[in-house]
Amino acid sequence: YISHNLIIEIPETTFADCEQLYRIELQYNTIRSLESNTFVNMTNLYYLYLYNNEISVIEPFTFVDLPNLYYLTLHINKIRSLVSYTFINLTNLSELQIYHNEISTIEPFTFMGLPSLQYLYLHYNKLQLLERNTFINMTNVNYMGLSGNPLNCDCSIFAFWSWLIERSSIYDIGSSAKCSNGTLVKSLQPAVLDTCHPDNCQCFNGGKCVAMGYELICDCFGQWTGTFCQDSQCTSYDCGFGDCYIEPVNGTAQCLCADRYVNYCPSRLCFKIETKCP
């Protein structure tokens, strides 16, 4: 028990020789970050309390090699984002509390490899967007709290909305997940969100569908333009007397002047004596 102190940091491998430790209480300190491998080799650790600190950053693999961890509290800190695989292979973790932070970003696969997770507390953060694979393979969750997050309910909500309506059995998620205007995510109309379905968006030449309000539009690659990224630079490029050549990958235009590529062909070129130039 080392709670209610003035601990600012925990050096890497501080607990490396504490394999038999069952419980760590570090709450009510001033810890600012968690480094990779901080709790490495603590194979018997069951409870880990880190709430009410100043934690803003959790480095990758902070919680690696904790096969028996059952209860993890990180609430009331200053965590801004959760990177992919932050909690990877915590196979015994049942409850994760990360509410009352400043989390605005949860990368895909953050909660990957948590087959035993039943309770996830995410309320009162700053989440606006939940990516397609944020909650992938979370098959045993019974409770998920999301209240107090200003979710953006344009087309970017489509992936989470689709996931949510298939999981009405998860307690509190239906009544706690709300748009920034207070509308329940589960109450969004399918007819409106149908325009956001990726199958209803097709982009050419490397363009990608992105959400823009309540529709998907093409974000074009390179110099390709147009509604579907179908127009190259040649559409509006003046080559003078030459022909416009399209670089096939990024749509960049070049002028083909006889057998040379230049920026502009000022006049016709004659290669045969008998050819008469106007």
Total domains present in the chain: 1
| Run of H or E including 164 | helix 158-165
User: Is 237 domain-assigned?
Assistant: yes
Q: Which residues pair with 123 in a beta bridge?
A: none
User: Is 232 domain-assigned?
Assistant: yes
User: Is 244 domain-assigned?
Assistant: yes
CB burial of residue 79 (10 Å; 0-12, 13-18, 19+): buried
User: Is 246 domain-assigned?
Assistant: yes
Tell me the whole-structure pTM to 2 decimals. 0.72
User: Is 150 domain-assigned?
Assistant: no
SS3 244: strand
SS3 192: helix
Query: Going residue by residue through the chain (278 aa), what tens digit of pLDDT does each one get?
Result: 688 888 999 888 788 788 889 999 999 999 999 988 888 889 999 999 999 999 999 988 889 889 999 999 999 999 999 998 899 889 999 999 999 999 999 998 899 889 999 999 999 999 998 887 888 888 899 999 999 999 988 878 888 888 888 887 898 888 899 999 898 998 888 776 766 666 667 777 888 877 676 667 788 888 888 877 888 888 777 887 778 888 777 888 888 777 776 666 776 543 433 344 44
User: Is 30 domain-assigned?
Assistant: no
User: Is 221 domain-assigned?
Assistant: yes
Q: What is the pLDDT of residue 210?
A: 77
CA 36 to chain centre: 21
* DSSP labels, 197-228: -GGG----TT-EEEEETTEEEEE--TT-BSTT
Phi, psi of 149, rounded to the nearest 5 degrees: -110, 130
Instruction: Give residue 7's identity as a one-letter amino acid code.
Output: I
90 contacts 114 by C-beta, under 8 angstroms: yes
Range of the domain at 248: 208-272
Phi, psi of 62, rounded to the nearest 5 degrees: -60, -40
Taking residue 88's Cβ as centre, other Cβ atoms within 10 Å add up to 17
User: Is 260 domain-assigned?
Assistant: yes
